[in-house]
A and B are shown apart, each in its own frame.
Chain A
Amino acid sequence: MRIERISLKTLTVSILIVLGLVSILLLFVTTLFFREAALKSQSQSLSRVMDVAAHEVVKQLHTQVFNLGSSFQGRTEFRAAFERFRQNGDATSLQRVLDDPIVNGFVGTITVDLVKLRLYDPDLKLIAQSQAGLQGMVPQLAPMLLNQAAGRNGAERLKAVGGVWISLNEPLYSVLVPVGGLKLMGYLEVVANPTFNLASVEAMTRMPLTVLDASGKVLHRSENWPSDREVKILDVEYLLRTGDGRVAYRLMGMADVTQLNADMARSGVIGVLAFISLIGASVLIGLWFFNRFIFKPISNMQSEMERSAQGDLSATVGQQTLKEFHALAAAFNTMVRKVDSNIQELQRLSSVDGLTGLNNRRHFDLSLKAEWLRALRESQELSLLMLDIDYFKQYNDTYGHLGGDDCLRAVSTLMQEVVQRPGDVVSRYGGEEFAILLPNTSSQGAQFLAFKMAAELARQNLPHFSSPLGGRLSLSIGCATCRPSPDCREESLVAAADKALYQAKAMGRNRVIVAEEMEDVAINKGAE
């Protein structure tokens, strides 16, 4: 498409609409990002909640396991069996005592899934373990616990240590409880299955829970775990690690984000609607503004410029618009004024005779035509005087051409002084000939003027030594008057006046001759 065909209005509206659409698109994309961020943040928060809950559960588990171990190691039959084992190596009763809580349970085992009891000497060497419970465990203390417990001195050796560790891919929780009170006999490792306790994370976080081990095997799954994954659900994950940093459990939760999604969707829709309204309002206000201050002024400027182009230089372009267009209009107006004044000057120059300042022949012809038509229209008389300076060639020869010019100017001044009506047209007809057009003037009026002129020249007594007519400057005047009619043309008036002038010259110059009537009046006589 060519640029000249696109209007400012179309361009502006297009730009506004494109901007609006881009904004809406951006808002839409932003809403999507925002939604993602909100879900991510929600997921992180819930994961944190799960973290806190899991730690709380592990802490409780530690306390429970520690209490269990503590009370177990203080039991008289355990102490007695241990003492017997230490003295004579008889492990039968010790074995029975270690198996008992796993087989029969006791009060401490209600809240803990006890899987093994193992007994170590003060140097942490395994000396006995329950036959019952978890099978296949490596017969030594877990390295993670060994790191914590070994190499301690004094009172430190009497402190219990514990933590999550992994035995044969199965996460376990052990607490190593010192046996023997103030006189250390050995250590009792109480091993529990934390999965049993981790299930309570669900109640704490109020989220359906699945507990998996590091390999992804499901160890526990909540009854509330939704089978229908169509529900808008946010997955929450938390990794519970062992004391040495290995992943022991993957805890997976679920949060119903239907409400969140609905809220997001609603705020998205509200946002888009608000934006659309805003853009609509902006477009309307923008259009009004552009219309008021740009489009309309430009349209006005255009029509006014066209008027000027068609020749009406009086037209002015309105300047009530924005700065740039105001400057444009002002420049255009200045240009039009300048052109107008130049044209007027040119017109003036084209109608004026340079030497005398009188109207020139061209202007005379135009005036004659116009006045002829007017006289015809208004059926008025039109008179014409044709004047010639007598013996002007001799004057030039005597006084030089500059003197001749002065003479022409003097006669012109005289004529302008005598002819006082604004409508009368005094013109230099050519050389030393002059023509005076007298609209709405009778023959008598014209003659009066002719005589007055001749008399005034005589009174001024301008010297002309080479003139045979008494050494003074004199005029021959042909005078013609007519009432124009449609079958007669203006040239006939000129011809009549010219003929009368010719007659005046032929009759000896320095006289006024009236055409048709051929009145020959001696100038001298008339002047005197």
Chain B
Amino acid sequence: MVAIRVFLLMFLFSWTWPAAADKPVAPVNVPGATSVSAERLIELAASTSQLLIIDSRRREEFDKGHIEGAVNLLDTDMTQSALSRLAPKPDTPLLFYCNGERCLRSSNAAKLALDWGYQKVYWFRGGWKEWSDKNLPVAK
């Protein structure tokens, strides 16, 4: 019985342990932003000529391969002025992606863009992992 109680206590408090805190997972959606898949992204790129694709990853990751036409802007480097240089108008459609659901950069960046008043914000949650898993064209 003692063993069971100890086990139950361990179970109850397990969330407080650092080891139990798993790697960060991106939110399912970012309120105000439109979540898209790789296929939707391609359709969007074809239909929306103004679409600005922002790769929120580090430079070296970007250099190894990225979606063609994307610009590299690390989320922590992204200031309102830096973004407004790329997209001066708040109605410019913006699409953020990073490495995938294990990565929080693009969701953070999308939230910032929404905070700063951008109206058409898209978020590609699957990111680079989904893109390369689907054997879609890669630019280097």
Contact = CB atoms under 8 A, between A and B. Distances in A.
B139 A183 contact: no
Contact of A155 (B68, B69, B134): B134
A62 to B, nearest CB: 10
A182 interface: yes
B39 interface: yes
Interface string A67-102: 000110110000000000000000000000000000
Given A182-B45, A182-B67, A158 B139 contact: no
B138 interface: yes
Contacts of A74: 68, 139-140
Contact of A181 (B38, B39, B135, B137): B137
Contacts, number: 46
B137 A70 contact: yes
B42 interface: yes
B86 interface: no
A177 B42 contact: no
A154 B137 contact: no
A160 B140 CA distance: 16
Contacts of B134: 155, 159
Interface size class of B (residues with CB under 8 A): 10 to 19
B136 interface: yes
A160 B136 CA distance: 7
A186 interface: no
Interface string B43-78: 101100000000000000000000111000000000
A239 B85 CA distance: 59
Given A155-B38, A155-B39, A155-B134, A182 B140 contact: no
Given A74-B68, A182-B68, A182-B69, A159 B45 contact: no
B69 A181 contact: yes
A160 B39 contact: no
A171 interface: no
A208 interface: no
Contact of B136 (A71, A155, A180, A183): A155
Interface in A283-299: none
A439 interface: no
Residue picked from B39, B136, B137, B140, most chain A C-beta under 10 Å: B137
Nearest to B49: A183
Given A180-B68, A181-B67, A182-B137, 14 more contacts: A66-B135, A70-B138, A154-B39, A154-B42, A154-B43, A155-B41, A155-B42, A158-B137, A159-B136, A160-B137, A182-B42, A182-B45, A183-B45, A183-B46
Interface of B: 38-39, 41-43, 45-46, 67-69, 134-140
Give 7 closest A-B pairs by Cβ, nearest first: A181-B68, A155-B39, A182-B45, A155-B42, A159-B135, A74-B139, A178-B137
